[in-house]
Amino acid sequence: MVWNHHGRLKFNPQQDFKNEVPPIVNLTGIKVNAKDTTLPADQIFTHKGNNLTFLFDGISLTSPNQLTYEYTLEGFDKAWIKVNYMVHEAVYTNLPAGDYTFKIKACNQDGVWSKTISYAFKVKPPFWQTSVFIILIIAFVAFSIYGFDKFRNARLMKSKIVLEKRVNERTFELAQMNAELADKNKDLTDSMFYAKRIQENTFVAEQELQKHFPESFCWVQSKELVSGDFVWMQQYNGGIYIAVVDCTGHGIPAAFISIMANQLLDKVWAKHEGENPSALLNHLNVLAAEAFKTSGFGFQLQDGMDIGLCKISADKSKIQFAGAHLNLICVQQNTIKEIIGDKVNIGSASAINFTNYEIVVNQEDLIYLCTDGFEDQYQGIPKIQRQEKFKQFLLGISSLALNEQKKTINETYKQLISQHAQLDDTTIVGIKL
């Protein structure tokens, strides 16, 4: 019971009846391209009149403000669209050609639905999408192709005799040129093989490395027949100096630089043998900068060479290391330790003092000196991730015998270059202390 200024108001819930009377919904009009149009039955619209707005209204005497509508355009909408009593139009723009049926229904506050009102119509396709136009185009194209083919065949027949004569003449000339090229290619290939033998006789081989470290390997994979990577080694007072060098580029240019780089290392060693790795790199950098600048290549080298140089003490308990863009990887008790070389190249014009590192190692520890060719073969990921993936690969094979490690490295690399063409020369030296 409620009191107000008119008196007392009494509410009886038992007399609050559900509104069972369905609302009435009407399709009141249609707009074509935003212009009011008489609503005809089964209307056909042209492709220029495919922007349609359907106007509708609903009647519910009990609660008109609680009406809801649902509409859909069959052939276009995938579901019914629900709107409230304030919306009285449904807008569709750029309807493609086809048959459609617009349906609208209303619901009162008690969930009683009206009858569904339907309006069927068709949007005609433009002329260029009709079957008649398509048939005409196909006929025109077919006739054009036929006419062009006849014309082309006539011209080909006229020129056939002339072309056959020219082909015969050119075939004879090409046969002579091919013979000359084959001779030159043989000479070039023989020269390349000879250059390869010179490199093999100049640089440190695996057999020489294994004289000092029986459990070791030297794996080299050249991109071309000759390589810009090489291994250098010297002995002093029982200690062993080992370097892995990566010269600029690959192929013949890198091979020439590698020969020069090996000579420079020997020259530095002759004057400064026994010095620590960083001192040797300091001397090498000065000598290389001058040699590259005054060399007869016809240009000044921008990158020079990368190098990782380590000294293993006579008792194999200590390692000194210095590097130029190359690092030393050490595996101790199944744990990776990486000594990072300086981020500069040998052959830089400016004087550089390279960092000298010293680490204590134990028997059975493993060290790896590598160029960056293997890790760069991991394509599709950033460089820092490629480096980490390569280190984890080395850690994963470190428990194998050294000959098995080399075999696994070779097989894995073959898989990598089968997926992506080989990018550079690559070298890995592995030593168990």
Check residue 109 and give its pLDDT.
85
Check residue 132 and give its pLDDT.
82
Identify the H or E element spanning 152.
Answer: helix 131-202
Helix, strand, coil % over all residues of the chain, rounded to 5: 40, 30, 30
Cross-strand partners of 219: 428
Q: Give every CB contact of residue 433 below 8 A, 6+ residues apart in sequence.
A: 213, 312, 316, 361, 362, 363, 364, 365, 366, 367
CA angle 287–288–289, rounded 5-degree value: 95
Give the pair of three-digit tokens for residue 208: 């020489």
Strand 43-45, strand 117-123: pairing: parallel
Residues 304, 345: contact at Cβ < 8 Å?
Answer: yes
Distance (Å) of CA 404 to CA 222, 364, 429: 21, 16, 14
Report d(CA 248, CA 227) in Å as an integer.
10
Cα dihedral 385, 391, 397, 399 in deg (nearest 10): -140
pLDDT of the chain, 433 residues: tens digit per residue: 555 555 565 655 555 567 788 898 998 888 988 888 777 655 888 888 889 999 999 888 878 888 999 999 999 999 999 999 899 899 999 999 999 999 999 998 888 899 999 999 899 898 887 788 888 888 888 888 888 888 888 887 888 888 788 888 888 878 778 777 766 666 555 555 545 565 555 566 788 899 999 999 999 988 887 778 899 999 999 899 999 999 887 677 777 888 888 899 999 999 999 999 999 999 999 988 887 775 444 445 555 789 999 999 999 999 999 999 999 999 998 999 999 999 988 887 667 899 999 999 998 899 999 999 899 999 889 999 999 999 999 999 999 999 999 999 999 999 999 999 988 889 999 999 9
Q: How many helices (H) and strands (E) does the chain have?
A: 6, 21
2-127 architecture in CATH?
Answer: Sandwich (2.60)
Residues 76, 92: contact at Cβ < 8 Å?
Answer: yes
CATH code: domain 203-432 is 3.60.40.10
Domain regions of the chain by residue span: 2-127, 130-202, 203-432
Phi then psi for 416, rounded to 5 degrees? Answer: -65, -45
Check residue 235 and give its pLDDT.
92
Check residue 163 and give its pLDDT.
78
